[in-house]
Structure 1
Amino acid sequence: MQRLNFINAAPRPYEHLGTLSHYFHDCGLPDGLVELVWLRASQLNGCAFCIDMHVADALNIGIDPRRLHLLVAWRETELYSPAERAALAWTEAVTNVQDGHVPDDVFDELRAHYDNKQIADLTFAVATINAWNRLAISFRSALPKTPQGVR
């Protein structure tokens, strides 16, 4: 049961977070990468609402369903490019900061595939989805009765 509607309770921060989220769709990161990263972070955080949304968004932009099904086990498949693998490892490290740091080797691998702007954008994207996940989880955002936006 939803605890409260945070969008109605605080519309200005919601709008600003939404504006930030829209930025990542044309910031220069490779096509589809943001959806993979957002879906993986949402899986790690256990956010059903966001997982549902980002699966639908990924399907809508043409990401192969098999890559979505196997994202939880991305290390075990060859379905992801070396650059995507570096971004997924970075996503996991930035999302799971309970150890107090992001390992140097994960950053070094990311740097081998992305420039400074892309690394900063990717990190802001991970921070943004983590904010969305925490909002949806904290307030128990209701999962829609039907899948979100799949065309």
Structure 2
Amino acid sequence: MSEAEVQARDRPEPPDAHDVRAAAHDVRTTVHEVRPSAIAQARDLARRRLRGFDARLVDDCLLVVSELVTNAVRHGGGLVGFDVTARPGHVTVSVRDRSTTLPSTIPPTGQWLPGGYGWPMVCRLAKKITISMPPGGGKAIHVSIG
């Protein structure tokens, strides 16, 4: 089996409605706390917030931060808000962008192509994902890990 076939076979299906909720009435204000201008700054903030936490939880969180902020910058019209909240054994990453388009998974093509792997990875690492549509436009994605 080729590497592309393994990647296509192992790629998860998009989460169902029980895992991802688009809630137009859900207003989150903490997502505006910090607006890093670069993905590295978002990771640095997360790393500072998670000082003293379990290394695996920190690593998972940093992957989620990288993917969500990258997607906001590349596909969401830019990063509007970012926050990481933490308590022992649990972290929530919140990212807000300008787009109302929900994340999706690219169907496997059988070819080894770049891109399309971040959202499935976020879904695998998350305990819960909530997507809200704030009144000011765009979307906020809240990913709970741990």
Give the TM-score, by structure 2 length.
0.29
Structure with the larger RCO, 1 or 2 (CA within 8 Å, 6+ apart): 1
Specify which structure has the higher proportion of helix. 1
Which structure has more strand as a fraction of its residues? 2
